[in-house]
Amino acid sequence: MAGVSKHTLRFWEKTLSGVIVPLRTKGRQRRYTKHHLKIVSQIKQFKKDGLSLNEIRERMAEKDSLEKENGKENRIDLLANQIAEVVKASIYDFLSNDD
């Protein structure tokens, strides 16, 4: 799904220490979420831009610290957007049933 070989994913997991931490089943199989796929896409783009793994690790750490600082604000924005989508859907349903 990510367009990256299993070998590469495992290498990135090990080398980027903590940037990609997949979920594990009881049988120890790796399970990746949509969030993991976004991270992999970002790493692929960094590699395409010519960044080294050390530079990628630094950028991802900076991004992580910024997200933690803005986490509360981001959650509030996310919740507001979700509420707006529910309201839009309700209004659309209401207007559609008005026919």
- Quote the pLDDT of residue 63: 75
Per-residue pLDDT in tens (0 to 9) along the chain, 99 residues: 778 899 998 999 888 878 888 888 888 888 888 888 888 999 999 999 999 999 998 888 887 666 666 666 677 777 888 898 888 888 888 888 765
Across-strand partners of 23?
A: 31
* Listed residue (36, 32, 35) closest to 24, CA to CA: 32
Q: How far apart are CA 99 and CA 97, in angstroms?
A: 5
Q: How far apart are CA 93 and CA 37, in angstroms?
A: 33
Across-strand partners of 24?
A: 30
pTM: 0.60
* Listed residue (12, 81, 73) closest to 40, CA to CA: 12
**Where are any strands of DSSP class E within 11-74?**
23-24, 30-31
Q: Are strands 23-24 and 30-31 parallel, antiparallel or unpaired?
A: antiparallel
- Quote the pLDDT of residue 44: 93
